[in-house]
Amino acid sequence: MMFPQARHSASSQSTQPLKFTTSDSCDRIKDEFQFLQAQYHSLKLECDKLASEKSEMQRHYIMYYEMSYGLNIEMHKQHQQQVLGAIDRAKQVTPPEMNSIIRQLQVHQLSQLQGLALPMTPLPLGLTPPTMPAVTSNSGLLSLSSILASHAHLAKDDKSSRDGADGHRDEDGDKSD
């Protein structure tokens, strides 16, 4: 007997102001559909915008990568050319020039040590003074090549001054052969 009472209470609620007619339901569904369609359109526009930005960023990335790669190759070429030039200059050094360069480097190193203003105390017995470090890096080769070039210039000036003392110069100052 409980079922008829439950039906009665349900029918009494339908007389309330919340009437769900078919046309009201269709209108509500239509409104929700239009809202979802507008939201979909907005999201689609945003997605298209993001996709175009993504492709633009990829284009910029590729352009910057190509520029970076080209610059890197150019730097390696220039570096290799400098090293080859330094090696060529080093091959042309004679033993007397090398001894002179080593003396110049030792004098330079001594002047730097004296510039530190450290007290010069005699070394204890059995200890030797520090030696000049070996030139192993490319920058060392380049600095060595610049020292060689300056030494070659000095040697040329020294030779020309000795030739001038011997009277082997012509009137414009060049060495006569």
Q: Is residue 86 part of a domain?
A: yes
Phi, psi torsion values for 169, nearest 5 degrees? -115, 145
Q: What is the pLDDT of residues 24-47, one digit of tens each?
A: 999 999 999 999 999 999 999 999
Q: Is residue 70 part of a domain?
A: yes
| pLDDT given for residue 124 in this prediction | 60
Q: Is residue 51 part of a domain?
A: yes
Percent above pLDDT 70 for the chain: 55
Q: What's the CA gap between 57 and 154, in Å, rounded? A: 57
- Among 61-75, 81-95, 139-153, the range with the most confident prediction by mean pLDDT is 61-75
> What is this structure's pTM?
0.36
Q: Is residue 99 part of a domain?
A: no
Q: Is residue 54 part of a domain?
A: yes
Half-sphere exposure of 155 (CA within 13 A, CB side): 14
C-alpha distances out from residue 82 to 56, 71, 135, Å: 39, 16, 16
Task: Let me know if 36 is exposed, middle or buried by CB neighbors in 10 A (0-12, 13-18, 19+).
Answer: exposed
- Out of 24-33, 51-60, 145-154, which region has the weakest mean confidence (pLDDT)? 145-154
Beta bridge partners of 169: 175
Q: Is residue 78 part of a domain?
A: yes
> What domain range is 60 assigned to?
32-91+139-158
Task: Let me know if 147 is exposed, middle or buried by CB neighbors in 10 A (0-12, 13-18, 19+).
Answer: middle
Q: How many domains does the chain have?
A: 1
Q: Is residue 19 part of a domain?
A: no
> Residue 138: is its pLDDT beyond 80?
no
